[in-house]
A and B are shown apart, each in its own frame.
Chain A
Amino acid sequence: MSESPADTEVKKQKLFAARRKLYPRFAQGTFQNWRVALVAFSQIVYFVLPWLMWGDRQAWLLDLPARKFYLFGVVLWPQDIIYLTALLIISAYSLFLFTAIAGRVWCGYACPQTVYTELLMWIERAIEGNRNARMKLDAAPWSASKVGKKTLKHVLWLIFALWTGITFVGYFTPIRELVASLPFGLSGWEVFWILFCTGFVYFFTGWMREQVCKYMCPYARFQSAMFDRDTLIITYDATRGEPRGARGRKADLTEAKLGHCVDCSVCVQVCPTGIDIRNGLQYECIGCAACVDGCDEVMKKMNYPLGLIRYTTENALASGYSKKEVWRRVFRPRTLIYMAILVAIIVAVAASLWSRNTLKVDVLRDRGVMAREASPGVIENIYQLQIMNTEERAHRFVIEVSGLPGIEVGEVEQPVTVDGASGRSVPLAARFTLPQEGYKDGMYPIVFTIRAEDDEALRREEKSTFMVPRN
């Protein structure tokens, strides 16, 4: 907004710009190859993971109704919510770190919006052709061939989106049963989420595309807080490129008073968000590097050095750093601190997961009956032991109590069998025989020891209290 226009002019203006449809041109090159590799990786994981089996169950299943997350050999219970917190912290710090180093690499290579836009564009290109062919097709009057192409495109988009939706729901409900019960055996919620995800993929990445990044995604708006002048960004080297202009391949640049930019506008044509990178860093830029690939193709043809548009930093452009200097500055205090915190959290989480006790016990002291005299001189306190066996095989548990001389567990069927990945509530009494000379009344700390009869390592100690009542 350079100058505020006169009011008369403003009245004619619309307050909200209409969308200009983009026809991104396909760019071939290093970064495109990277994107293909990363998209392939993430999508193979996404589509294959729910089909893997672990023993006789799905290897990766987030069973919300049963409140159990099966992740290969690990079964997480609601009590393990801390690992979800840890995952979120790790994700957040990774975001900080990668953004500080190389800007919006998440947006350019891994964000589902980018990934599925890319996939749907491949389908689009296969049917309608590259940029020019697509523009020509849209401008052409409706014909049988145009209707056919458009219909085919949307049908393929929808099939792909539907498959994505089914796979998504397959993470929460066993995918083999899900697919077997298609289409009429599904529950209402399964249908809802499949259609929701299908619509999400179809509308967001087929129709909305860059508008999601520009207007809906908050990340574009707070990225500037994580950038600094040593962050690698995709940028146009104006000192080298300007003044821009068309010229012959053999033209003498000094004589023609031209920079390296031939003003071919390839960088604008390939941009999925429709910006001109030569205007500098803009919030719409999702860091996909398509313009780098596009420009390099042209530079190669012109026999100019590559990298007129490249990954570099603002400081490097201003002070003319060498590549080595740029990389040295990647390891600056900011990124080193992020890395240190990230590594510390990952190590802590891994250690905690590794040493996780699969036996969980809650001791609930009865509130109604504080203490009772089972027979003269014998005091009992009552507890409910919530024994949770998060391992997937059954265990037999022995319950012992200690902390007072001669204290023992009252009549309860021991050992207690708890099935795999399930819990059991065991009400029991701790029994304390008062010694001849009496015992001071009050609360005494006691410890319940629950150990598996069939596994030496599986044991847990839980503290509680025992009340000796006043006489």
Chain B
Amino acid sequence: MSDFTSNFWNLYIAILTIAGIIFCIWLLVAVGKREQKSSDSSHVWDGDLTELNNQLPGWWRWMFWGLLIFSIGYLVYFPGLGSFKGTGDWTQIKQFDEEMTALQAKTKPTYDSYLAMAAEDLSKNKNAMETAGRIFSNECARCHGSDAGGGAGFPSLKSGDAMSWGGDVAAIKQSITEGRTGVMTPMGEAVGGAPGVKAVVAYMRSLSGLSHDEGLMAQGGKLFEDNCAACHGADGKGVKEMGAPNLTDNIWVYGGSEAAMTKVVELGKNSNLAQGDFAMPAYKGVLSQAQIHLLTAYVWGKSHK
């Protein structure tokens, strides 16, 4: 009711509605009392077709009375008359909740049977995976893509390596349930400004076998050891517990070009969600335990054919 900040509009609607009903009752009574006679309206067509001003047939008038009684009953029972809530205590939300509860009761046995299965087995169950595919389309595809192959800034779920928090069942389930926020701090200053960043990028590219400047690489390797290895590991293979991605597998969620890498090293990632950084949201309040289990199996299955 936030649209109606003053009570005026409630009264406005209620009065108009009641006045309308009273007018209809008056009209029906007045018309019903009128004498049963045909009066010529003096409209004549085709020479002999005269329009008469007859009374409505009785059954027709009784239908109007029926409608009036129905509308009064409706307005008493249901909310409809301005802000009057109705005596029936009915709301859309209540009805929605009832229907959802009924639906959940109906699907519960199926979901329970899925919940009892290990995710690895569930990923081979055709029916379960069809359901999971629909949940994925609704909840996950807008970031990770319909084919689960990821998007710019969102990891592919088709390879266990791309999932920097780990691609095993427990890690996937944790990611969906609680969400993930990995923070990469801005390293521009720590590595000594633009030349340092350039050197680190050269070293990073060498890890994945991409084209790089050999001279800068050695310098970058030193800087990497000092500044980056704490999270990404001395070998650059990442640390799953921290969500620090593997830098040696040529999977670059934020782009594999020199420019893109430079930007990440210099400015970091996820340090400022308000400025367009993203995090994986938690789904524990959105999806049921069984649905999360299904999705876990679905995602796990994508990298374990």
Q: Chain A residues in contact with chain B, CB under 8 A?
A: 1-2, 4, 7, 10-11, 13, 15-16, 366-377, 380, 382-384, 410-412, 427-429, 469, 471
Contacts and interface: CB of A to CB of B under 8 A. Distances in A.
B107 interface: no
Contact of A376 (B142, B147, B150, B252): B252
Contacts of A10: 37-38
Contacts of B158: 411
A368 B143 contact: yes
Contact of B141 (A4, A366, A371): A366
Given A373-B256, A376-B250, A15 B55 contact: yes
B255 interface: yes
A429 B147 contact: yes
A46 to B, nearest CB: 34
B45 to A, nearest CB: 11
Interface in B140-166: 141-152, 154, 156, 158
B210 A376 contact: yes
A468 to B, nearest CB: 13
B257 A368 contact: no
B251 interface: yes
B40 A376 contact: no
Contacts of A366: 141, 145-146
A15 B145 contact: no
A7 B37 CA distance: 7
A375 B143 CA distance: 18
A301 to B, nearest CB: 37
- 5 A-B pairs with the lowest CB-CB distances in the bound complex, closest first: A376-B256, A369-B151, A368-B142, A427-B146, A427-B147
A436 to B, nearest CB: 11
Nearest to A378: B256
Contact of A1 (B36, B48, B147): B48
Given A368-B151, A371-B152, A384 B250 contact: no
Contacts of A367: 142
A429 B149 contact: yes
Nearest to B144: A369
B152 A372 contact: yes
A469 B152 contact: yes
8 contacts: A4-B50, A10-B37, A368-B143, A370-B152, A374-B156, A410-B149, A427-B148, A429-B149
A431 to B, nearest CB: 10
A100 B295 CA distance: 65
A2 B49 CA distance: 9
B210 to A, nearest CB: 6
A262 B210 CA distance: 111
A15 B37 CA distance: 8
Nearest to B249: A375
B259 interface: yes
Given A375-B256, A471-B257, A369 B36 contact: no
Nearest to B49: A1
A370 B49 CA distance: 68
Contacts of A410: 147, 149
B141 A368 contact: yes
B203 to A, nearest CB: 16
A411 B303 CA distance: 12
A401 B218 CA distance: 43
A10 B85 CA distance: 51
A375 B141 contact: no
A15 B256 CA distance: 88
Given A11-B36, A16-B57, A368-B141, A375 B50 contact: no
B149 A15 contact: no
Q: Which of A10, A369, A471 has the most CB of B within 10 A?
A: A369
B125 interface: no
Given A376-B252, A377-B256, A11 B37 contact: yes
Interface in B44-65: 48-50, 54-55, 57
B250 A375 contact: yes
A2 B259 CA distance: 96
A375 B251 contact: yes
Nearest to B46: A224
Contacts of B146: 366, 369, 382-384, 427
A471 B48 CA distance: 83
Contacts of B54: 15
B255 to A, nearest CB: 6
B133 to A, nearest CB: 8
